[in-house]
Structure 1
Amino acid sequence: MSVTIRTVMPDDRTAWGQLYAGYAAFYSVDQTEEMRDKVWSWLMDPAHEVHGFVAEAHGALLGLTHYRPFSRPLAAGTGGFLDDLYVLPEARGSKAGEALIRAVQREGRERGWGVVRWITADDNYRARGLYDQMATRTEWITYDLTPT
């Protein structure tokens, strides 16, 4: 299957929404249509920090990724954070995931980012198999703190 990677476009809203809902379900995250509308508005705003690519084959969307720059004070530079990566279960093995990551890598090269970074769940074994081939797993542990 030949997969094309391109920037997400206004006409992609319905198919992108279905993909993003699938991504949320994969991680057992409750996500509303209003939440997807908000993220979509970010993607459609050229001034917003979040951008996106989609993977397409035969006129249908197979996957998505969202990414954004982040400041790296210790390195005195900028990196890119790959926030979301999702490929339809039936399209896994099509190289769409790899192509989406490579698209963010090229974007990072063009923007002068020193690194492209992402996180995944410890039990996301299939994706981790791909990530281990493409990138270096770090020793960093992530924490979340709710600002209350």
Structure 2
Amino acid sequence: MSSDVTVRFVTRQDYEQWLPLWDGYNAFYKRSGPTALAGEITAMTWARFFDAYEPVHALVAESGGELLGLTHYLFHRSTTAIEPTCYLQDLFTSEAARGKGVGRALINGVYEQATRAGSSRVYWQTHETNHTAQLLYDKVAEKSGFIVYRKIF
């Protein structure tokens, strides 16, 4: 399937197909019920993709007019480099597209955009229980060994 997949920037016309993928991603990470993302967060996320002043970007994987996956990434400054650093924040493929090269194609799309932006580093995180995704990630990147800490207010 991966040879039939096109990775491209999201367009405003993609919203109706992007939204179920976004909802699927959030459901996968159990962001439903009391922990669900508020509708205004989804609306703002979508708007940011089309705001030239925002560092947040979106790519989609498409085949035959159907969106199969999405990735969202952003650029930020770092105290250890002059060039921007790329954080791949979200990656999700439809269940039917899994294991067919769509996730790899989306990651490679982010790598390409990072290179174009002059970034020499792309990083992301995944949940320790997401073993299926880690099988792919271990092939396309290396584990940094860092542990993530956070505090939510």
TM-score tier (shorter): over 0.9
After TM superposition, the score normalised by the length of structure 1 is 0.95
**Residue 128, structure 1, aligned to residue 117, structure 2:** no
Matched, 1:5 2:7: yes
Paired position in structure 2 for 1:56: 62
How far off its partner does 1:33 sit?
A: 3.0
Q: Deviation at 1:65?
A: 0.3
Q: Which amino acid aligns with 1:8?
A: V
Deviations 1:67-120 (A, max 9, x none): 111112123432100000000111101211000000100111111112000000
Q: Which moved more, 1:52-61 or 1:71-80?
A: 71-80
Tell whether the 8 Å contact from 2:114 to 2:122 is kept in structure 1 after alignment.
yes
Residue 67 of structure 1: aligned partner: 73
Contact kept? 2:6, 2:62, Cα under 8 Å: yes
Deviation at 1:54, TM superposition (A): 0.2
CA distance in 2, matches of 1:53, 1:145: 29
Runs of 4+ in 1 over 3 A off after TM superposition: none
Matched-pair contact (CA < 8 Å) for 2:55–2:76: no
CA–CA separation in structure 1 for the residues paired with 2:87 and 2:52 = 17
Match of 2:94 in 1: 88
* One-letter amino acid of the structure 1 residue matched with residue 17 of structure 2: A
Report the number of matched residues: 147
Give the whole-Å Cα distance in 1 for the aligned partners of 2:7 and 2:114: 15
SS of 1:65's partner is: strand
- Aligned-partner residue type, residue 22 of structure 1: G
Fraction of identical pairs, as percent: 36
Cα 1:146–1:139 change in 2 (3 A) is: same
**Cα deviation digits, residues 10-59 of structure 1 (max 9, x gap):** 10011111110000000001123322111001112122110000000111
Gaps of 5+ in 1: none
The residue aligned with 1:23 is: 25
- Give the aligned CA root-mean-square deviation in angstroms: 1.1
**1:33 and 2:39 matched:** yes
Unaligned runs of 5+ in 2: none
Instruction: Supply the AA of the counterpart residue of 2:134.
Output: R
